């Protein structure tokens, strides 16, 4: 839908379908009553002296409203379905060609591994900015086997990658429920109450210790905060790619977190040093010297080792819980 089409519909209908228009006008000190008059007619009948007192001209008001509506309608419009994302290799820091063409699809978990400073962030940036040979690596990114629409690069409403950093602090004085509600309303989601309840329940499934909807976000532990944001990313974010940085340090149920994101058909890129998480991935991108050095497909032998590693991890988790509960470890 184009913003211009809203100017000629009956105003009562327009305000019912797009209530944020009334909030926009009230921010300028303008009152509006739903009538059969169109938005165009309403703007035309505004008193120029009133607008002058409010410090805005009719042309400035119309331009601001045009831009506002365009942005809000972009948030509501469905994104193009990302069926595949292809990375066409460029070069590392020495200029050595990568010689790769890697295609990722929804539901895949791809781990990014390599030493600190090896170029993991550069790979993410190339994907996030939909590089077309115009970044230091010379990589190219295709969406659905084609050079992507420019909206994936330049639109603030269409983000290819939703990123969850390992360093995260809340500063707003809101409860967990209020925080998620604000996010849901800003994305204009349908059935916001249902989404809010779903996110809070999923977050509590991931967190080591449950928290209530009324818990202030500033009081959440590191693990609870990460659990809340992973659930939010999975359920509310429209971005088709989810990047999670070092989930092993989050204090949450890692397998459930990945299962949730896979269920929501995200392409998951995960920077990790954890052998269990690395083996949970479908493949690993090994980064060295600024380039993708090699791609490792998870083998059947590694899958068998994953079972043994998970058993060991569960034993360590049980021991940690005993420590938390004030027990001794004399008999293990």
User: pLDDT tens-digit profile of 157-215?
Assistant: 667 788 876 656 666 778 999 999 988 877 777 778 899 999 999 999 888 788 999 99
More confident call, 32 vs 133: 133
Considering the domain architecture, whether residues 293 and 306 belong to the same structural domain is answered as no
Percent of the chain with pLDDT over 90: 22
Considering the domain architecture, whether residues 163 and 286 belong to the same structural domain is answered as yes
Q: How confident is the model at residue 130 (pLDDT cuts 50, 70, 90)?
A: confident
CATH number at residue 280: 3.40.50.300
Into how many domains does the chain fold?
3
The span from the CA of 206 to the CA of 198, in Å, is: 12
Considering the domain architecture, whether residues 256 and 276 belong to the same structural domain is answered as yes
Flag whether the pTM goes above 0.85: no
Considering the domain architecture, whether residues 33 and 65 belong to the same structural domain is answered as yes
Considering the domain architecture, whether residues 157 and 28 belong to the same structural domain is answered as no
Going by C-alpha positions, the residue among 134, 140, 207 that lies closest to residue 176 is: 207
Considering the domain architecture, whether residues 261 and 119 belong to the same structural domain is answered as yes
Q: Could you give the C-alpha distances from 97 to 73, 87, 93, 147, in angstroms and in order?
A: 42, 13, 10, 21
Give the single-character DSSP code of 159. -
118 located within any domain: yes
121 three-state secondary structure: helix
**Cβ pair 143, 137 in contact under 8 A:** no
Considering the domain architecture, whether residues 69 and 186 belong to the same structural domain is answered as no
Considering the domain architecture, whether residues 257 and 314 belong to the same structural domain is answered as no
pLDDT on residue 61: 87
Considering the domain architecture, whether residues 154 and 260 belong to the same structural domain is answered as yes
pLDDT on residue 167: 59
Residue 154: other Cβ atoms inside 10 A: 10
């Amino acid at each position: 839908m184009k913003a211009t089409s809203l100017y000629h519909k009956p105003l009562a209908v327009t305000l019912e379908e797009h209530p944020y228009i009334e909030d926009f006008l009230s921010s300028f000190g303008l009152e509006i009553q739903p009538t059969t008059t169109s938005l165009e007619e309403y703007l035309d009948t505004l008193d120029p002296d009133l607008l002058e007192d409010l410090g805005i001209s009719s042309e400035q008001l119309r331009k601001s409203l045009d831009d506002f509506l365009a942005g809000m309608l972009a948030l509501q419009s469905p994104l193009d379905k990302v069926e595949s994302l292809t990375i066409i290799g460029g070069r590392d820091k020495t200029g050595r060609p990568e010689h790769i063409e890697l295609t990722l699809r929804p539901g895949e978990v791809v781990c990014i591994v390599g030493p600190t400073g090896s170029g993991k962030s550069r790979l993410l940036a190339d994907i996030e900015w939909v590089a077309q040979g115009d970044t230091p690596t010379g990589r190219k990114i295709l969406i659905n086997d084609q050079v992507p629409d420019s909206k994936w690069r330049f639109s603030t409403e269409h983000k290819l990658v939703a990123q969850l950093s390992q360093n995260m602090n809340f500063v707003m004085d809101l409860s967990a429920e209020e925080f998620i509600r604000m996010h849901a309303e800003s994305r204009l989601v349908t059935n916001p109450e249902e989404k809010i309840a779903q996110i809070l329940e999923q977050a509590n499934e991931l967190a080591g210790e449950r928290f209530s909807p009324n818990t202030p976000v500033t009081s959440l532990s590191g693990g609870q905060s990460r659990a809340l944001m992973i659930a939010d990313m999975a359920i509310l974010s429209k971005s088709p790619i989810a990047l999670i940085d070092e989930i092993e340090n989050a204090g949450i149920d890692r397998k459930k977190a990945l299962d949730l994101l896979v269920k929501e058909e995200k392409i998951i890129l995960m920077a990790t040093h954890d052998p269990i998480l690395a083996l949970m991935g479908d493949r690993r991108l090994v980064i060295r010297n600024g380039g993708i050095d090699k791609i490792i497909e998870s083998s059947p032998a590694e899958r068998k080792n994953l079972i043994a590693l998970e058993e060991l991890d569960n034993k360590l988790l049980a021991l940690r819980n005993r420590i938390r509960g004030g027990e001794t470890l004399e008999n293990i």
